[in-house]
Amino acid sequence: MKQFKVLIIDDHPLIANAYQQALEEVFIKSDLELNTIFATTIDEAHEIIEDPNTFDRIDIVFLDIRLPKGKNLKIISGEDLGILMRKKYPKKKLVVATTFNDNYRIHSILKNIDPDGFLVKNDLTPAELVCAIQVLLSEPPFYSKTVLKMLRKQISDEALLDHTDRRLLYEISIGTKMKELPNILPLSKAGIERRKRNLRLVFEVENGSDRDLVFQAKERGFI
């Protein structure tokens, strides 16, 4: 019997078991034999990815974005692992899962990894996880409801904001001070002020405060 091999990278046993149970339900009537391997740390996952004898035979990867840091200082998150997988194995099916639900982080993951599936853990039920796997095997991508909501809210404004605009909005929203921004963004202080003026025009708060700007950006799905 031909095997279908799955790699689950997650440090939470309950989540890993939920994936396993959903996979078993999907494959119970299949003529494929399900073979699942697990990694619970960045170092374990990185070792598997770098071993072509193992990773070449994997059909789909479930990747938690928030993982404990390991010894490899260049790979410090699940997102870094996802970027590495996309670079080395661009055709490998990759599903990311996260507890992050702010739009800036979701957009960053979509842009940097372009996963075949994007699961926000708070959205998931056992039935939806089974549905997600079925879609991923037949007609990916599959995005959970939080991701779809963000995409719908921002689609009409997408051409107006670039990555730097998004990062600026995000930094303002978390309270980063103006004097710190030139060390974070590829802009001078004057350039940052120009960006903020433009963002106030985009979000129709020309005379508003940073709080008003952040509120409108959140309402329209950008942070």
Helix (H) or strand (E) holding 6: strand 3-9
Q: Chain-wide mean pLDDT for the chain?
A: 88
pLDDT tens by residue, 137-148 = 988 999 999 888
- Vertex 109, ends 129 and 196: CA angle to 5°? 135
pTM as predicted: 0.73
Summarised one tens digit per residue, pLDDT across range 22-36 is 999 999 988 889 999
Token pair, residue 130, equals 């089974």
